[in-house]
Amino acid sequence: MTPSPGETVDAAYELLSFDPGQEPDWAGFGSCFHPRALLALRVFPEDAAISVMDLHEYSRAQMREGLREEGYTEVPGDRDVDIIGSVATVRQHFTMNFAGREPAPAIDVFSLVNVDGRWQIVSVVSDMTAAQTDGPGR
């Protein structure tokens, strides 16, 4: 059975999380995405601005600042899924968990397409949902 858009998103969160001394399953994580996918997000809650990057750039940015030694998890919360034909959006609340830091609530908005019978993420836009950022619209 083909995973649904929500199951594809769940897999991405699971594959991005890792224990101290490890790294995310980058190959598995990448398989959830279309090869030309873009991500627009704050890699870390304290990032001053949103960065727009491809998967390779994201993997490099994610592992900065000794994160490999600390481990990291993203825990999904409430979500809304909207499927219209071969496109879908998933609005996913989640929590970023870094060792020695307070959990950081955020939201991802995924756009997915069904290509050859398989849902693939084509974009993720994300930002923090707590008072950590005071950007436009707040």
Residue 137's pLDDT band, with cuts at 50, 70 and 90, is very low
Residue-averaged pLDDT of the chain = 92
Q: Mean pLDDT across the stretch 32-51?
A: 96
Q: Residue ranges per domain, the chain?
A: 5-128
Q: Mean pLDDT across the stretch 107-130?
A: 96
pLDDT surpassing 90 at residue 119: yes
pLDDT surpassing 60 at residue 131: no
Domain 5-128 CATH class label: alpha beta
The CA dihedral of 83, 130, 77, 103, to the nearest 10 degrees, is 140
Residue 99's pLDDT band, with cuts at 50, 70 and 90, is confident
Task: Take residue 109 and report the two structure tokens written for it.
Answer: 């908005």
